[in-house]
Amino acid sequence: SQQGEEDPQALSIQEGENATMNCSYKTSINNLQWYRQNSGRGLVHLILIRSNEREKHSGRLRVTLDTSKKSSSLLITASRAADTASYFCAMEGRNYQLIWGAGTKLIIKP
């Protein structure tokens, strides 16, 4: 399979809570990216973390990368209804091709 693995497949939390989703991969990577897809705005790039970085922040987003375990996590703090979407990780391989996870569907309940 050309896909990475994401878990959980679906996540439902109350507004204001934190959401954590995980991604694992098998090959060496240049970087790992997270994207969000919802019906209103399509698929949008959120954050990129390079292979030599361990943690990165962008607003309410925090991404970690553990290259020894070939895994990454995305934390969304203080969730909002607008965060309801599917979240995908994408690993950039040595040939610059992106390999995608199957996605985590996040639902924020009011």
Segment 66-85, which members bind other proteins (CB under 8 A)?
A: none
Give the x/- contact pattern for other proteins in 24-63, rule: CB under 8 A. ------xx-x--------xxxx--x-x-------------
Q: Does the footprint of other proteins cover residue 12 (CB under 8 A)? A: no
- The sign of the dihedral angle between the CA atoms of 19, 56, 34, 3 is negative
Give, in order, the Cα–Cα distances in Å from 53 to each of 28, 41, 67, 94, 108: 14, 29, 9, 17, 29
Q: Does the footprint of other proteins cover residue 102 (CB under 8 A)? A: yes
Q: How many residues bind other proteins (CB under 8 A)?
A: 24
